[in-house]
């Protein structure tokens, strides 16, 4: 049996994602207009318990409502 000889290996660059776009920055992910709206509309005297009581009667989940709204906006 012949002795094994080392083979040349090639160093490659790390795999690039399927899209060539860079990941968005934190600033790009934040909805600054909505944040400003919330700051304007905020009421400092409203407690978390009051918010929970007021929203407890809303059926379903807010996550589901947001997902359905986003899907509706796509079409």
Q: Is residue 13 part of a domain?
A: no
Q: Is residue 65 part of a domain?
A: yes
Q: Note down the domain range covering 59.
A: 46-75
Q: Is residue 30 part of a domain?
A: no
Q: Is residue 16 part of a domain?
A: no
Number of domains in the chain: 1
Q: Is residue 4 part of a domain?
A: no
- Of 36, 34, 44, which Cα lies nearest the Cα of 66? 34
Quote the pTM value. 0.36
In order, the DSSP letters of 6-53 are -------PPPPPSS-PPPPPHHHHS-HHHHHHHHHH--TT--HHHHHH
pLDDT at 28 over 70: yes
pLDDT of residue 60: 83
pLDDT at 47 over 90: yes
pLDDT at 37 over 90: yes
pLDDT at 7 over 80: no
Q: Is residue 17 part of a domain?
A: no
Q: Is residue 34 part of a domain?
A: no
- Of 50, 58, 33, which Cα lies nearest the Cα of 66? 58
- Of 52, 53, 71, which Cα lies nearest the Cα of 63? 71
């Amino acid at each position: 049996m012949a002795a094994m000889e080392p083979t040349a290996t090639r160093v490659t660059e790390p795999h690039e994602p399927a899209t060539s776009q860079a990941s968005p920055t934190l600033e790009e992910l934040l909805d600054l207009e909505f944040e400003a709206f919330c700051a304007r509309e905020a009421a400092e005297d409203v407690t978390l318990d009051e918010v929970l009581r007021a929203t407890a009667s809303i059926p379903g989940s807010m996550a589901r409502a947001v997902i359905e709204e986003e899907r509706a906006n796509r079409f």
